[in-house]
Amino acid sequence: MRHRHLPTAAVALGVAVLLDVLRVWLPSIITIFGRAAETPAELLGAFALCWFLLALAAPSLVRRLGSRPVGLVAAGTLAASRLALTAAPGGRAQLWLACAGLLAGLVWLAATAASVDRPVPGLALGLAGAAVGHGLLGTEDLVWRGGVLGWTLSVLLVLAFLAASAATPAPPAAAPTTGTGTAARVTGARSWLLLGPALLLAGQVALAPALWSAAFVSGSRDFPGLYRSSVGSSSLLPVFPVLFFLLAALHWPATRLVRVLWPVVLLVGAGLFAAGWLVPAMLLTGVGLGGCLALTDTAATKAAGPDGAARGVPGADGVRRGYAAVGGMLVFAVATVVYYATYDLGYPNGWVPVGTAVLVALVAFAGPSTATPVLTGTPRWASVAPLVLLTVVALEIHRPVPTAVPPRTPATVVRVVAYNIRMGFGLDGRLDLDAVARVVRAGRADVVLLSEVDRGWLLNGGHDTLALLAQRLRLPYVFAPAADPVWGDAVLSRFPVRSGRTRPLAAHGAPTGAQALGITLDLGGRELAVVATHLQPPPGRGPVAQAREVAAFATRYAAGRPLVLGGDLNTEPGEPAFTAFTAAGLVDALAAARPLPTSPADDPRQQIDHVFVSPGIGAADVAAPRSTASDHLPVAVTLTLP
């Protein structure tokens, strides 16, 4: 009995390590292989899916060689890839290391599934533990951190995973199918099948630490539809998704009522996420997902046969579980690719989590379930309290940035930086917000207009890029959703923000959503209107229609006050979209430094990042400093107000 918790620990730690690799693999597919939409979407999707299709051969390999030797080799490869990713310089090396780690992780899942018939405790603790760990790191992956702390924690995690895997006793051989004795059918395939869909729902909605700051600090009457950096203590509300998930997954009896209740709650939570109601979506999806996992857990017994015990050669049920685990991860891959592809196809992607939740609900509702909690005999506090405590610690460590204070005398000079940060990923494909912060600080910015701000896209690793950058710069922010609730534009300012508005822009055939964010800054007795946007041109055309909408919105919002408008406008000087701003009476603040190419960052040829101002505002000290912290260069300008 002393080894009864080792399989649970091995599964939980393995899920955490695999998630670390996935958080590198997913953005590497987009930024390195995809090169920010330069690679055709069909080729990108095929490349991503091929690794999951290759893993479908893993259960057959496990059946021939045994679950233990295959599992240990795969665990070692996964662990080595995980550590190598921290040392990788980015680029192609990072991409192939992430692919190798992903494939090894999928093979490890197939081998582990073949020998573990009750994985729900390990899966639940692994998902919750990974979420809490990500929160403790401020949603900045351990893989990207490096340094003494990063390496120490990475090595400890990997060693714990390898130790638990090696110490787990070999499973008994498959039960004999002939003779007088019979063995109860080994179950667990449904639980393993739900791992992939659960990863998507947990990382996208239920257990996404990046949403803790993006969802729980929302707008107010003066900031409708906007999200602001909070002031003071962190909210404890994010503790509850983790708490409810674990209680439902590990300690709630599977009665007839909850067999219907949990799938319904999960579907409602996913629907609320698609509608943009992030707070209730996290709570309901968390408890619903945990409950659905618990519904798939079924007690089972298995008889040990005389042959193959040392290698743990699985029988038909073990192979079935292996295929279920890999098949569930294939569902994860397809849903993730479809979620990303909708931005190129122009269809809303909120239905992807809803469709995934439907699958989870159907699998959970079908078939028998235990009538007792998964962790029978284990006190609730033993598995729940440590993770909840760590969640509270995470919230207290990563407090929001302080509020801005107006200057004692009215400011007349403002330094503005407009920067498309590509979700914080540099040209090497690595998340490096320190490099982004260095570029902004070098620009001596008072006000920063950011485009392509990600606040929790699982596709990019699930980081709250805005909060991480704001903490580094010590600047409060206002965020406006564009393509979905956690992707859009933001303004950071050392001056207090008194009010704000956001206007969704009509697509005009463009696949990705866009908006115009207007805020009012208090410069110490006088006000400055600032508008940040990221125009999205339709295929083969310029964003002239959106440019006219933004220009009209900006002039109305300014209402006679000094106005600054900027961002990634995806148009060059002289083009119709650029002319739409000058025709509205705005002035090109970068005119004195033209030509001023900003894209691509390593060989700038296009002038598509701009700053416009209202007449009477002086512009000087224009710069586009060279940097590969993004695929764009920032533009900086000093503005003198009349």
Provide the percentage of residues in the chain whose pLDDT is more than 70: 84
* Domain annotation covers residue 495: yes
Chain-centroid distance of CA 12 in Å reads 20
How many domains in the chain?
2
* Domain annotation covers residue 177: no
Candidates 403, 333, 260; CA nearest to 22 is 333
Provide the percentage of residues in the chain whose pLDDT is more than 90: 55
**Secondary structure (3-state) at 423:** helix
pLDDT digits (tens, 9 = 90+) for 124-133: 999 998 988 8
* Domain annotation covers residue 588: yes
Burial class (CB in 10 A: 0-12, 13-18, 19+), 4: exposed
pLDDT digits (tens, 9 = 90+) for 434-481: 999 999 999 899 999 999 999 888 888 889 999 899 989 999 999 999
The b-or-e profile of 384-409 (16+ CB within 10 A means b, else e) is: beebbebbeebbeebebbeebebeee
Residue 416 · residue 528 · CB < 8 Å: no
Residues 41 and 109 in one domain: yes
Residues 390 and 491 in one domain: no
* Domain annotation covers residue 143: yes
**Interior CA angle at 445 toward 444 and 449, to 5°?**
150
Candidates 290, 298, 296, 299; CA nearest to 262 is 290
Residues 383 and 435 in one domain: no
How far apart (Å, rounded) are the C-alpha atoms in residues 23 and 463? 9
CATH of the domain at 369: 1.20.1250
Candidates 271, 315, 292, 285; CA nearest to 193 is 292
| Residue 278: per-residue pLDDT | 82
Lowest mean pLDDT: which of 60-69, 316-325, 361-370, 573-582?
361-370
CATH of the domain at 480: 3.60.10.10
Helical packing angle, 6-28 and 91-115, nearest 10° = 150
pLDDT digits (tens, 9 = 90+) for 162-196: 999 998 776 655 444 444 433 334 468 899 999 99
Residues 362 and 486 in one domain: no
| Residue 377: per-residue pLDDT | 47
Look at residue 217 and tell me whether its pLDDT is greater than 50.
yes
List the domain range (segments joined by +) for residue 234: 6-170+188-303+312-397
Look at residue 567 and tell me whether its pLDDT is greater than 50.
yes
* Domain annotation covers residue 403: no
Residues 385 and 428 in one domain: no
Residues 109 and 148 in one domain: yes
* Domain annotation covers residue 424: yes
Mean of pLDDT over the chain? 85
How far apart (Å, rounded) are the C-alpha atoms in residues 594 and 319? 65
Residues 464 and 496 in one domain: yes
Residue ending a domain, among 357, 372, 397, is 397
Look at residue 515 and tell me whether its pLDDT is greater than 70.
yes
Confidence of residue 57 (pLDDT cuts 50, 70, 90): very high
Residues 419 and 377 in one domain: no
Residues 393 and 528 in one domain: no
Residue ending a domain, among 365, 397, 429, is 397
Residues 452 and 498 in one domain: yes
Residues 368 and 470 in one domain: no
| Residue 183: per-residue pLDDT | 38
Confidence of residue 224 (pLDDT cuts 50, 70, 90): confident
Residues 385 and 454 in one domain: no
Confidence of residue 219 (pLDDT cuts 50, 70, 90): low
Task: Specify the pTM.
Answer: 0.88
* Domain annotation covers residue 407: no
